[in-house]
A and B are shown apart, each in its own frame.
Chain A
Amino acid sequence: MSEINKKIKDIVGANDIVLFMKGTPDAPQCGFSMAVSNILKHLKVKFEGVNVLSSDELRQGIKDYTDWPTIPQLYVKGEFVGGCDIVKEMFEKGELKKLFEDKSLLS
């Protein structure tokens, strides 16, 4: 396993909710990343924002890690949930809140 893959695996394993995004939750650098970050803030869940702009290796590595070509990417309990489209759709249909409830992540 490549070094970057291992690093990603560790981050995803060490945090219940991880959002790989452009920028940070408080200073998002892209509309799609901001949209997902705002959804997580709205649901008041604790999440780790990882800024992929901080390293090209990470920015490409995360796309290879889960064979998903875009950023942002949301992981819950180590599992890839989706990018902006899927997270938005799940949120609008109440599925995201249910997912967090099922995994007892709602505060």
Chain B
Amino acid sequence: MPLNKDEISKMIMEAFPDATLELKDTMGDSNHYSAKIISKTFNGKTRIEQHKMVYKALMGKMGNELHALELITEEKK
């Protein structure tokens, strides 16, 4: 059962309460999303670490129920 937009943003906002989040269902099929997340939690972390933090927040859904997520993460000044 693919994930809907609200479920994804809920998981992300719970893990990154200060985040600015842009989340798009790029193909309208609840299976291909793009997300831009800006949060202080990323400050000082490498991109790989930042993305791993997001995958952790998605509780194992990434690559399973959630097929594709184009991800951009940024530190918050």
Contact = CB atoms under 8 A, between A and B. Distances in A.
A63 B71 CA distance: 18
Interface residues of B, number: 13
Contact of A89 (B47, B55, B62): B47
Contacts of B72: 85, 89
A80 B48 contact: yes
Interface size range on A against B: 10 to 19
Contacts of A82: 47-48, 51
Contacts of A86: 47-48, 51
A69 B47 contact: no
Given A63-B63, A89-B72, A68 B47 contact: no
Closest 8 CB pairs of A and B: A69-B63, A69-B62, A70-B63, A85-B71, A86-B47, A69-B55, A85-B70, A82-B48
23 contacts: A32-B68, A68-B48, A68-B52, A68-B55, A69-B55, A69-B60, A69-B62, A69-B63, A69-B64, A70-B63, A80-B48, A82-B47, A82-B48, A82-B51, A83-B51, A84-B70, A85-B51, A85-B70, A85-B71, A86-B47, A86-B48, A86-B51, A89-B72
Interface of B: 47-48, 51-52, 55, 60, 62-64, 68, 70-72
